[in-house]
Amino acid sequence: MRLWVGFGGLLLVMNAFAAEGQPTIDWLKTVVFAGHQTDYSGVFIYQYDSHVETSRITHVVESDSEYERLESLDGPKREIIRHHGQVWCYINHKMVQVDSQQGGSRFPSLLPGQLSALSGNYLVKEAGLERVAGYNTQVIIFQPKDSLRYTHKIWAHTDTGLLLKTAVLGDKNQVVEQYTFTQLKIGGDVDRAWIASSKGTGVSSKPTGAVSRNNPDVSKAGTPINSGWVVDALPAGFKKTMEVHRPMRGKHAPVTQLVFSDGLSAISVFIEPSDADEDDVEGLSSRGAVNLYRKVVDGHLLTVLGEVPSRTVMQVLDSVRYNGKP
Amino acid sequence: MKHKISVLMDGELFEDEAEVLFDQIKRDSSTHLDWATYHLIGDVLRQPDSIHRDISARVRERMLNEPTVLVPRSRALKQRVRTVALSAAASLLAVGVVAWMSLQISPEAAPQMAMQQAALRPASLQIQPKSNDYLMAHQEFSPSTDLNGGASYIRTVSYSLEEKPQ
């Protein structure tokens, strides 16, 4: 509850600023803050192309630590639990994957530097008020200044700043991907029973089952490194936010991952030694706003993916080169 | 190709062939132009009261791409016109402009070539479930996680009816 009071105060300050200066960028800060600090539970629809699926999400903040549970409501039962920088993934009640984020909980994680980069590469504008899932929302559009990224449209709850709907739009303003809450409960009596069981899963203990059989190191966080790999043709405003060696399921050697972000989207570059039997994986594929491009270059399998158009992942992959010691 | 588009518009192309063609139309601007032209022809033949041909979006798109190249070039021209004595300096500048322009052009040219290669593939593929681990590794660091919260994670375990999830 005290969070709510503090947050209300912050909103007032934000609204005062909104009269002048960069109201929409401030909205974005509010959105990020609200997403981390609000208790909520609801059902949302995720859609792209002809694919539509419904999921339930529950987000709970307990003594400055977030718990989040995502459950698919159609198709095979899939569940993702996130807590303190760790991610557990279950499919049909079987744990299939565990991952660790760098640096544990990240709040608030959109950096001021990234926000200023945002206004350099996107036209940010408010686009009126709309109603979503029974709540009033402010619509904000981020229109890119070049053709190397998508348009992002968000619907933020006018009272709390929670995102109730987001859409990624392509060149012709066609919807590439969309998340919409159809039912949402903000604050109050949110189901917390599952938290105890997820605590039991063992934040510190080693996961058991399929994961440890395949690769016992998979729960370890990636190691920050300077790999010597560089990307020459990044779109303007994309800055490197991460460079790690990470173990991956079914891979003998650690995979190098570089992450670049312009504040709204990220591009990941994965570099690994190429296995002979992987020659069928080359090419372009997509899922919603994420485009993925893979190619074997000089004995290395390069995988570039991100919430950017296909031309961008191709441009990035074709400009990856090794700049370290031979 | 044009024949295929015509067959497609008559609704006589098989579904899998149509998929490939649609994909090509999406990627290849000349095929896309053919597609638009055929529809325009069809519209004219049907003799409606008015023919809607909106080119504003395309003009705006082209305009957006133009300025970066035009500005330095016009500056160089002005320099040259101003005095003959400055011509040496101007030609130096021109060399600079050419170098700058080729820098501007090369990153554009590369994806275009890659695009043509990709067009030869039976493309428009969905990301395979075996690549879900890459999506998961990416999602951790993506700003979309900050904005959407965990909702974006549904991407990493997304399924399709044809492919069984791992």
pLDDT at A201 (0 to 100): 52
Question: Is A309 within the bounds of a domain?
Answer: yes
- B102: number of Cβ within 10 Å: 10
Peptide bond into A108 cis (omega under 30): yes
For the record, the structure tokens of A84 come out as: 């303190």
> Residue A119's domain is classified under what CATH number?
2.50.20.10
Q: Name the minimum distance, in Å, from the CA of A7 to any CA of chain B.
A: 17
The mean pLDDT of A278-298, rounded to a whole number, is: 85
Domain ranges (residues) in chain B: 1-53, 72-125, 126-166
Please tell me the least confidently modeled range out of A127-131, A156-160, B101-105, B162-166.
Answer: B162-166
Domain check: are A27 and A95 in the same one?
A: yes
Note whether A150 and A168 are within 8 A (CB). yes
* pLDDT tops 50 at residue A104: no
Residue window 208-227, chain A: list those with CB within 8 Å of chain B.
Answer: none
Domain check: are A53 and A182 in the same one?
A: yes
Helix ranges restricted to H, A126-246: 193-200, 210-214
Domain check: are A183 and A298 in the same one?
A: no
Q: How far apart are CA A221 and CA A231, in angstroms?
A: 24
Query: Could you tell me which residues come within 8 angstroms of residue A299 by beta carbon, excluding any fewer than 6 positions away?
Result: A273, A274
Domain check: are A228 and A264 in the same one?
A: yes
**With an 8 Å Cβ cutoff, is A175 touching chain B?**
no
Between chain A and chain B, how many beta carbons pairs sit less than 8 Å apart? 182
* pLDDT tops 80 at residue A73: yes
List, as one string, the DSSP characters of B122-163: ---EEPPGGGHHHHHHHHTT-HHHHHHGGGGGGGGG---SSS
**With an 8 Å Cβ cutoff, is A166 touching chain B?**
yes
Q: Using the beta-carbon criterion (under 8 Å), do A286 and B153 form an inter-chain contact?
A: no
In chain B, the largest separation of any two C-alpha atoms, in whole Å, equals: 74
Q: How far apart are CA A143 and CA B46, in angstroms?
A: 38
**With an 8 Å Cβ cutoff, is A115 touching chain B?**
no
Domain check: are A109 and A229 in the same one?
A: no
pLDDT at B7 (0 to 100): 85
**With an 8 Å Cβ cutoff, is A266 touching chain B?**
yes
Using a pLDDT cut of 70, give the percent of chain B over it: 57
For A168-195, letters b (16+ CB in 10 Å) and e give bbeeeeeebbbbbbeebebeeebeeeeb
Of residues A185 and A298, which shows the higher confidence score?
A185
Question: Is A135 within the bounds of a domain?
Answer: yes
**With an 8 Å Cβ cutoff, is A263 touching chain B?**
yes
> Residue A311's domain is classified under what CATH number?
3.30.200.100
pLDDT at A35 (0 to 100): 86
Confidence of residue B107 (pLDDT cuts 50, 70, 90): very low
Q: How far apart are CA B15 and CA B143, in angstroms?
A: 38
pLDDT at A216 (0 to 100): 35
Question: Is A64 within the bounds of a domain?
Answer: yes
Q: Using the beta-carbon criterion (under 8 Å), do A241 and B141 form an inter-chain contact?
A: yes
pLDDT at B164 (0 to 100): 46
Chain B residues with CB under 8 Å of A210 CB are none
Q: How far apart are CA B140 and CA B137, in angstroms?
A: 6
Domain check: are A149 and A252 in the same one?
A: no
As a residue count, chain A comes to 326
* pLDDT tops 60 at residue A293: yes
Of residues A24 and B153, which shows the higher confidence score?
B153
Confidence of residue A109 (pLDDT cuts 50, 70, 90): low
Q: Using the beta-carbon criterion (under 8 Å), do B138 and A266 form an inter-chain contact?
A: yes
A56, containing H or E segment: strand A51-62
* Structural domain ending residue among the three candidates A169, A200, A231: A200
* pLDDT tops 50 at residue B120: no
pLDDT at A252 (0 to 100): 79
Confidence of residue A70 (pLDDT cuts 50, 70, 90): very high
Fold of B1-53: Arc Repressor Mutant, subunit A (1.10.10)
Where residue B14 falls (left for φ over 0; alpha for ψ -120 to 50; beta otherwise) is beta
**Residue A150 to residues A144, A248, A309, Cα–Cα distance (Å):** 7, 29, 7
pLDDT at B52 (0 to 100): 66
Query: Could you tell me which residues come within 8 angstroms of residue A4 by beta carbon, excluding any fewer than 6 positions away?
Result: A187
Question: Is A83 within the bounds of a domain?
Answer: yes
3-state secondary structure of B4: helix
Q: Which domain holds residue A138?
A: 2-200
Domain check: are A51 and A16 in the same one?
A: yes
* pLDDT tops 70 at residue B121: no
* Tens digit of each residue's pLDDT (9 = 90 or more) over A140-189: 999 999 999 999 999 999 999 999 999 999 988 999 999 999 999 998 88
Q: Tokens 């000089």: give the residue.
A: A298
Note whether A270 and B140 are within 8 A (CB). no
* pLDDT tops 50 at residue B96: yes
Question: Is A90 within the bounds of a domain?
Answer: yes
Partner-chain residue, chosen from A146, A163, A285, that has the shortest CB–CB distance to B147: A163
Please tell me the least confidently modeled range out of A56-65, A189-198, B120-129.
Answer: B120-129
**A151-157, strands of its sheet edge to edge:** A94-100, A86-91, A78-83, A65-72, A51-62, A40-48, A175-186, A163-169, A151-157, A135-144, A122-132
* Tens digit of each residue's pLDDT (9 = 90 or more) over B136-146: 888 888 888 87
pLDDT at A165 (0 to 100): 94
Please tell me the least confidently modeled range out of A43-47, A203-207, B73-77, B93-97.
Answer: A203-207
Looking at residue A234, what DSSP letter applies? P
Question: Is A289 within the bounds of a domain?
Answer: yes
The residue among A182, A157, A190, A189 whose CA lies nearest residue A34 is A157
Q: Name the minimum distance, in Å, from the CA of A326 to any CA of chain B.
A: 25
The ipTM of this complex is 0.81
* pLDDT tops 50 at residue A218: no
For the record, the structure tokens of A43 come out as: 């059902």
Q: Name the minimum distance, in Å, from the CA of A283 to any CA of chain B.
A: 7
Query: How many helices and strands in chain B, by DSSP H and E?
Result: 8, 1
Domain check: are A252 and A181 in the same one?
A: no
What total number of domains does chain A contain?
Answer: 2
Please tell me the least confidently modeled range out of A289-298, B3-12, B44-53, B64-73.
Answer: B64-73
Please tell me the least confidently modeled range out of A210-214, A230-234, B85-89.
Answer: A210-214
Q: Name the minimum distance, in Å, from the CA of A324 to any CA of chain B.
A: 22
Partner-chain residue, chosen from B64, B110, B143, that has the shortest CB–CB distance to A264: B143
Q: Using the beta-carbon criterion (under 8 Å), do B125 and A284 form an inter-chain contact?
A: yes
A182, containing H or E segment: strand A175-186
Q: Which of B25, B65, B142, B164 to mutate to test the interface with A (most CBs of A within 10 A)?
A: B142
- B144: number of Cβ within 10 Å: 26
Chain B residues with CB under 8 Å of A250 CB are 133
